[in-house]
Structure 1
Amino acid sequence: MSAPRKPLTGVRVLDFSTLLPGPMATLILAEAGAEVIKVERPGSGEEMRHYPPMVTADSGVNFALLNRGKRSLALDLKNEESIRIIKLLMTDIDVVVEQFRPGVMDRLGLGWEALKAINPALVYCSITGWGQDGPKAQLAAHDLNYMAETGVLNLGADRAGDPVVPPVLVADIGGGTMPAVISILLALREAEKTGAGAHLDVAMGDNLFAWAYWALGERAVGRPDPRPGGELVTGGSPRYQVYRCADGRWLACAPLEQKFWMNFCRIVGLPESLADDSRDPAATTAAVRDIVAAKPSAEWLAAFDGVDACVTLVKSIGEAADDPHFRARGLFRGAMPAGEATLTPVPPPIAPIYRDPEGGQGFPALGDANLDLTGG
């Protein structure tokens, strides 16, 4: 296998972010070749270092996986000397990523205007929940809150109207990480052409609305808000459901298109009177539920083998990571050092030509770049 391409080689990133959205964004930049310098508090480092389970005496697995391939600069941002050091570094920095509430970096003397004056081509990315302005700008929140406030959480409510706590952090990654990376790359391209940097206002709340585009489309044509558990992709159709098998496993069934639906109906033996699900979707769903429940999952998977019907098994995360398909694509074959142990890196969400399948770079010890960058 050829070595991964590194299109961001030569790009230097100063990363003030913590927890998930910013660190995953700079992980992607590092994977693509950027030098990422992570600024942390002296003594303790950022919060994620201490989230269990631990892989070393002072670092948890979450920190290790999100900060692979970076360097650590331990500085007290309330100290004038630390601010002076950062400003000295700024002439050689291409990207700043920060995740404080609006106004914090300005009060520290490290806001966009202050750093742009030193480096006019600087790309300055601010990741927040609600954006740099607006009534909610200073409101404390986490992923669940952003999903609740943007209506996304309600879209996943069951038929009784009860929202379900999502198992994945869509706001942090889908609303923060990915828009930040995209915006940084756009701004770097613009800076190459014009010499002018940019302040990127990446708001997780704003960016979640794109995930609910279909619901906004319904509203745009005058339809009422989607019914809990009652729309095409939220449980209102027999063509987009999870069905329980006789052995307690579940099938994810998504034969939305008519050609897939007809194949599905043939395999499960659905009576012709119910195959036209436009008449009574609930009755068709109930009938399919009873049919699927009569056989174990292995029988159904064998029956659907080679049939275009969009039917798959609901797997655990462990089963998924061990799936031969993902193994064949090299997603989980790497090994990164973590103290005396090794970890399988999380595959960053970028094209394989930019991804290091070996994942051999470790995560930084707190302050490992201090001597090099500050002389002490």
Structure 2
Amino acid sequence: MTLPLQGVKVVDLSTLLPGPMCTLLMAEAGAEVVKIERPKGGDEMRSYVPKRGPDSVNFGLLNRGKRSVALDLKTQAGRDAALALIEQADVLVEQFRPGVMDRLGLGYDVLAARNPRLVYCSITGYGQTGPKADVAAHDLNYLAESGMLALCAGSDGAPVLPPALIADIAGGTYPAMMNILFALRQREQTGQGCRLDISMADNLFTFMYWALGNGESGYGWPKPGGELVTGGTARYQIYRAADGRYLAAAPLEEKFWQNFTRIIGAPELATADGLDPAVKDRVAALIGSEPSDVWVERFADVDACTVRIVGLEEAVKDPHFVQRGLFDRKVRMPGGDVMTALPVPIADVFRAKDEVRDSPALGSSEARFERGG
């Protein structure tokens, strides 16, 4: 089977999460990815816990199917070896702070002169330019400064920690992958590569389209707990059942809301304003009067967009996800352990059929691409 990125050669100079997940997606779609790591310790993600054998499970999940080359980029020999790889590459992904690659002699101008077809993708927190370009930060900081974290409020009104690294993946990995594909397509037309400046903080604003719309329209800048998707309506809410478990209720459309109010035994609320706090209190009291099992049974086969909240351990055993094969693929760790590979948003038609692929041991590959790869 010919994969969509078969024949594409990628040099991965990134670490931790955003860049490695981006190159994982490319590897899963057939690209040959050579990961350049520090000789001592390699990618910091290797040291994270929990581990399976010598490496972190996180590293294994993010680096399935890649090759690892250990090079010291602070030495001339290391830079020369890296340059030899990059001269053959179609794509380079790096995640250093702005200016670091230039100081290493691996800046875009230098590399583009040697390989004009190179797609050079830089992933940073705040982008290559601007007052915050050199500021050290992590996912939580980008959420805080983009306005997103302020919209995530707990019952006491204080912001809560999101359970996902939204900026890293939604603001870094996915935009990087999308723009790399655009750049490769453009290169087919022009013969020229380009420089991509991916800012994780910039890309968070896309997810707040509704909040920006509220502010721009004069409707008012949104507040936590006060808007359609931040807890301001009974139609998009989390309710506690009598057994202490929770229901996620999202009957936004009228037909779903009518079904919902009928199932909870309050058809008189079908025409009520969901933004009325009294309506939320009434629904909460009704949901809280029965255990979650009862509600799961009553809402079964009813279009009301209401489900029980489950933990991850329960979710991965859900017959729906199991039947769809989300967890069929495996990754073999350097010590020989085999574990479930990370599900990724790539259609099966674009992925190799091999179910088990290796996570590379540090420096286990030669500093070259496979001939004809």
Quote the residue 1:62 is aligned against: 58
Alignment map for 1:287-326 (pairs within 5 Å): 287-326=282-321
Is structure 2 residue 241 aligned with structure 1 residue 252?
no
* 1:45 pairs with one of 25, 42, 45: 42
- Provide the TM-score with structure 1 as the length reference: 0.95
CA offset at residue 210 of structure 1? 0.3
Counterpart Cα distance in 2 of 1:234 and 1:261: 18
Is structure 2 residue 194 aligned with structure 1 residue 201?
no
Q: Which amino acid aligns with 1:51?
A: Y
Counterpart Cα distance in 2 of 1:165 and 1:357: 37
Kindly indicate whether the alpha-carbon contact (under 8 Å) linking 1:241 and 1:252 is maintained by their aligned counterparts in 2: yes
Quote the residue 1:369 is aligned against: 365
Q: Which amino acid aligns with 1:174?
A: A
How big is each residue's C-alpha offset from its partner over 1:298-325, in whole Å with a ceiling of 9 and x where there is no partner?
A: 1111111111000111010111111100
Is structure 2 residue 104 aligned with structure 1 residue 82?
no
Is structure 2 residue 109 aligned with structure 1 residue 113?
yes
Counterpart Cα distance in 2 of 1:159 and 1:226: 17
Quote the residue 2:29 is aligned against: 32
Q: Secondary structure at the match of 1:190?
A: helix
360-369 or 170-179: bigger deviation? 360-369
Quote the residue 2:356 is aligned against: 360
Counterpart Cα distance in 2 of 1:357 and 1:89: 28
Counterpart Cα distance in 2 of 1:371 and 1:66: 20
Q: Which amino acid aligns with 2:284?
A: R
Counterpart Cα distance in 2 of 1:91 and 1:279: 60
Q: Which amino acid aligns with 2:310?
A: K
Kindly indicate whether the alpha-carbon contact (under 8 Å) linking 1:275 and 1:284 is maintained by their aligned counterparts in 2: no
Kindly indicate whether the alpha-carbon contact (under 8 Å) linking 2:66 and 2:359 is maintained by their aligned counterparts in 1: yes
1:364 and 1:36, CA in 2 relative to 1: closer, same or farther beyond 3 A?
A: same
Counterpart Cα distance in 2 of 1:260 and 1:352: 33
CA offset at residue 373 of structure 1? 6.2
Kindly indicate whether the alpha-carbon contact (under 8 Å) linking 2:332 and 2:338 is maintained by their aligned counterparts in 1: yes
Q: Which amino acid aligns with 1:343?
A: M
Alignment map for 1:175-214 (pairs within 5 Å): 175-214=171-210
Gaps of 5+ in 2: none
Kindly indicate whether the alpha-carbon contact (under 8 Å) linking 1:263 and 1:308 is maintained by their aligned counterparts in 2: yes
1:355 and 1:310, CA in 2 relative to 1: closer, same or farther beyond 3 A?
A: farther
Alignment map for 1:337-352 (pairs within 5 Å): 337-338=332-333, 339-352=335-348
Is structure 2 residue 179 aligned with structure 1 residue 220?
no
Quote the residue 1:275 is aligned against: 270
CA offset at residue 84 of structure 1? 1.3
Quote the residue 1:6 is aligned against: 3
Quote the residue 1:16 is aligned against: 13
Counterpart Cα distance in 2 of 1:225 and 1:355: 43
Q: Which amino acid aligns with 1:25?
A: C
1:158 and 1:276, CA in 2 relative to 1: closer, same or farther beyond 3 A?
A: farther
**Which aligned runs of 4 or more in structure 1 are off by greater than 4 angstroms?**
371-374
Q: Secondary structure at the match of 1:202?
A: strand
The percent identity for this pair of structures is 55
340-349 or 152-161: bigger deviation? 152-161
241-250 or 353-362: bigger deviation? 353-362
Kindly indicate whether the alpha-carbon contact (under 8 Å) linking 1:150 and 1:205 is maintained by their aligned counterparts in 2: yes
Is structure 2 residue 180 aligned with structure 1 residue 157?
no
1:372 and 1:247, CA in 2 relative to 1: closer, same or farther beyond 3 A?
A: same
CA offset at residue 277 of structure 1? 3.0
Kindly indicate whether the alpha-carbon contact (under 8 Å) linking 2:18 and 2:172 is maintained by their aligned counterparts in 1: yes
CA offset at residue 372 of structure 1? 5.5
How big is each residue's C-alpha offset from its partner over 1:87-127, in whole Å with a ceiling of 9 and x where there is no partner?
A: 22223100000000000000000011000001111000000
How big is each residue's C-alpha offset from its partner over 1:234-279, in whole Å with a ceiling of 9 and x where there is no partner?
A: 100000011111111111100000000000000001151x333327
Gaps of 5+ in 1: none
Counterpart Cα distance in 2 of 1:304 and 1:240: 16
1:135 and 1:161, CA in 2 relative to 1: closer, same or farther beyond 3 A?
A: same
252-261 or 288-297: bigger deviation? 288-297
Is structure 2 residue 178 aligned with structure 1 residue 173?
no
